[in-house]
A and B are shown apart, each in its own frame.
Chain A
Amino acid sequence: MSDSPSYDSTAKAGVTPMVLAEGVSKSFGSNEVLKSISLSVKPGEVLCIIGPSGSGKSTFLRCINHLERVDAGRLSVDGQVVGYRQHGDKLYELKPKEASRQRREIGMVFQRFNLFPHMTALENIVEAPIRVKGIPKARAVERANELLARVGLADKGDHYPSQLSGGQQQRVAIARALAMDPKLMLFDEPTSALDPELVGEVLDVMKGLAASGMTMVVVTHEMGFAREVADELVFMDGGVVVEAGDPREVLANPQHQRTKTFLSKVL
């Protein structure tokens, strides 16, 4: 793409951004969901993306770990183009094996948890480390128990997902993603499917994760979380970034009319 010069210029700027999007566009058929999205996330930063449903924020998140393919623009994670290999100024599509190698460094947490229902919480967590990374079972189990304790579920390892509450399931899902030692965590509306009183326990785990220095991109409707934890807030609507900046400023003093309208409805 013609964007490659700007890609090089940002690399010179110092720290390689963990996520760098330049003019990312994506269509489903004739429906353009993402229209030239540009943003960057530095290592250790937390980016929150807010916006009405259908604004493309989840699609953007799914593009970051190549669950969706980007049509135009350039998206890279830790300096590597997502889904492609770059040779000079030519891009080669990655083989499934190479793409999955890229994905295992990016953890993802889903709105509907997507735990494997036929496996216990512990089995859910050790599955990928054992099968994908080839970690010995004993070590994977030990690490999984540490992670379960970290998300406050030390005694729930032998429970099946159907025996856990929504909040507990989502915390297991976070532990499962962390078990791959990702350098970036993506959260796709992690609390939207939860009962109000269960939201807090998941957000607490996420706050702890942010405090530990994890780079996170969070699509959320929790403005309180965004205000407290995010380093940067992005408001998306209709497939474009309408407004971005310090979360406290954007939430308190939105500049654009669309942001104002949206915030007046959710705050």
Chain B
Amino acid sequence: MSQGNPAGPATGSVPSPAGAPPSEPIKAIKLRHPWRIVFAIVLILLAVWFIVDASQRSAYGWQYVGKYVFDKRISAAALVTLQLTIYSMVIGVILGLVLAVMRLSPNPVVKSVAWLYLWVFRGTPVYVQLVFWGLFSLIYPHIFLGVPWTNLGATFDLGFMQNAFIIAIVGLALNEAAYMAEIVRAGLLSVDTGQEEAATALGMSWWQTMTRIVIPQAMRVIIPPTGNEVISMLKTTSLVAAIPLTTDLYGVARDISAVTYTPIPLLIVASLWYLLFTSILMVGQYFLEKRFSRGVNMRRPENREPALATGALPAAGAPDGNDLGGKG
């Protein structure tokens, strides 16, 4: 970047750092922050006090924590929690994407349907929704598709809606879709309309424009809140007790403690597993965010004002040259 482009029309002279007046590095006494150190010491002392105290309290039942944290029933339940999270999230994201596109559609009918969906599913608590889905098969044991008031058509058995695991996924996914729709919509709207125009002018179809140009750029805006949603979903799965489904992490921990009368250590066990999963998710989110910020913030925001663009000129870019060194 700093050596200009030999083939291109010359627009500026090569920078001459040698011509600048000799400059000495500043040797100054660093600003001290004594209160930070004091505050840190106080916090550490409080933490040590809490840990020492907790280790001596019998109510925590640390021996039970150790005994149950790697219990087969607990790890199997953790797997169920993971499955619930992944399945409902995948369905939620796909349905959310569809709803987002529907909300941005110029068709008023499609738009209203999406709005109604969001109104219902964001306007009621997820716990209430889960209880409702648990009772769904009482309302609709089977459905009839065909011409009303005649025998023309077919009856579909909805017996699968008595399977608590499926109910849990349906309930969580439908609720999640409403939130994902808003996240996706914000992402799609964040992409400059010039991008869509440029792609259209190149003869790209709507589908190509969306998948190759708009969505990859929208991902930068969509990924961080979606990561939050995954983490949130992992924890929301504990509400499936409302259906009731009790094979998830929290449900099994509660079942065991009901037998052993040790609720506190089993709460700690469940929390440790939840923390393990959310920590892994946070690491994954970090790498995803890095992947989708390609070409942005490598030097400065790309929608800078033209007046600032001189900084990117070969002639003036020498001091920044190091920033680009890594990019080859």
Are both chains from one complex?
yes
CB distance B296 to A100 under 8 Å?
A: no
CB distance A165 to B197 under 8 Å?
A: no
CB distance B201 to A162 under 8 Å?
A: no
The interface size of chain B toward A, counting residues with CB under 8 Å, comes to 45
Q: Which of A65, A96, A110 contacts B206 (CB 8 A)?
A: A96
Contacts of B213 on A, CB cut-off 8 Å?
Answer: 116
Contacts of A204 on B, CB cut-off 8 Å?
Answer: 9
The secondary-structure label for the interface of chain B is loop
Q: State whether the Cβ of A11 lies closer than 8 Å to any Cβ in chain B.
A: no
Q: Which of A67, A97, A151, A156 contacts B200 (CB 8 A)?
A: A67
CB distance B7 to A132 under 8 Å?
A: no
CB distance B309 to A127 under 8 Å?
A: no
> Complex formed: what's the CA distance from A118 to B211 in Å?
13
Q: State whether the Cβ of A180 lies closer than 8 Å to any Cβ in chain B.
A: yes
CB distance A132 to B9 under 8 Å?
A: no
CB distance A200 to B306 under 8 Å?
A: no
Contacts of A120 on B, CB cut-off 8 Å?
Answer: 295
Least distance between B11 CB and chain A CB atoms (Å): 5
Contacts of B301 on A, CB cut-off 8 Å?
Answer: 162
Tell whether A149 pairs with B7 under 8 Å between CB atoms, given A100-B203, A118-B217, A162-B300. Answer: yes
Contacts of A200 on B, CB cut-off 8 Å?
Answer: 9, 11
The interface size of chain A toward B, counting residues with CB under 8 Å, comes to 56
Stretch of A41-49, A81-89, A101-109 that contacts chain B: A101-109
Q: Which of A100, A156, A161, A164 contacts B205 (CB 8 A)?
A: A100
CB distance A132 to B11 under 8 Å?
A: no
Chain B window 316-328, contacts with chain A (Cβ cutoff 8 Å), 1 for yes, 0 for no? 0000000010011
Q: State whether the Cβ of A17 lies closer than 8 Å to any Cβ in chain B.
A: no
CB distance A201 to B328 under 8 Å?
A: no
Contacts of A119 on B, CB cut-off 8 Å?
Answer: 295
Least distance between A119 CB and chain B CB atoms (Å): 7
Q: State whether the Cβ of B67 lies closer than 8 Å to any Cβ in chain A.
A: no
Contacts of A152 on B, CB cut-off 8 Å?
Answer: 5, 7-9
Contacts of B216 on A, CB cut-off 8 Å?
Answer: 118
CB distance A198 to B298 under 8 Å?
A: no
Chain B window 179-212, contacts with chain A (Cβ cutoff 8 Å), 1 for yes, 0 for no? 0000000000000101101111111111010001
Q: State whether the Cβ of A246 lies closer than 8 Å to any Cβ in chain B.
A: no
Tell whether A127 pairs with B300 under 8 Å between CB atoms, given A114-B197, A156-B5, A163-B312. Answer: no
Tell whether A110 pairs with B307 under 8 Å between CB atoms, given A131-B208, A204-B9. Answer: no
Chain A window 61-105, contacts with chain B (Cβ cutoff 8 Å), 1 for yes, 0 for no? 000010100000000000000000000000000001100110110
Contacts of B327 on A, CB cut-off 8 Å?
Answer: 159-160, 163
Q: Which of B1, B195, B206, B324 contacts A116 (CB 8 A)?
A: B195
| In the A-B complex, the 5 residue pairs with the closest CB atoms | A104-B203, A152-B8, A114-B198, A160-B295, A128-B202
Taking Cβ atoms with an 8 Å cutoff, the residues of A that contact B are 65, 67, 96-97, 100-101, 103-104, 106-108, 110, 112, 114-120, 127-128, 131-132, 149, 151-156, 158-168, 171, 173, 176-177, 180, 193-195, 197-198, 200-201, 204-205
- The 30 sampled A-B contact pairs (Cβ below 8 Å) are A97-B205, A100-B205, A103-B200, A103-B201, A104-B203, A110-B194, A110-B197, A110-B198, A114-B195, A116-B217, A120-B295, A132-B202, A132-B203, A152-B7, A152-B8, A159-B1, A162-B296, A163-B298, A163-B324, A165-B309, A166-B309, A167-B11, A173-B198, A176-B202, A177-B201, A180-B203, A193-B306, A194-B309, A198-B313, A201-B9
